[in-house]
Amino acid sequence: MISASASAECLEMFAQLRETGQLKTLIDRHFGLPALEDAYAYSRTGRARGKIIIDVKG
């Protein structure tokens, strides 16, 4: 588990970077909730090159 806190100024800076297209989120893979074990196994391989998304709708 990772925990972090950010100041209002820092959050504003990130919002501005995102709005101008300078900050982008890299999504590696999507998994449905039934494939949660597969998603976890994939995350443990260390090969993900972006975020792993769990779709709780299925």
Per residue in 4-23, pLDDT tens?
788 999 999 989 999 999 98
Angle at 23 between CA 19 and CA 24, to 5 degrees: 105
AA letter at 36: L
Closest CA to 54 of 20, 25, 27: 27
Q: What pTM did the predictor assign?
A: 0.61
What b-and-e string marks burial along 26-49, b requiring 16 or more CB atoms within 10 Å of the CB? Answer: eeebebeeebeeebeebeeeeeee
Per residue in 21-51, pLDDT tens?
998 889 999 999 999 999 999 999 999 999 9
Ranges of each domain in the chain? 24-58
Coil/strand/helix, residue 20: coil
Q: How many residues does the chain have?
A: 58
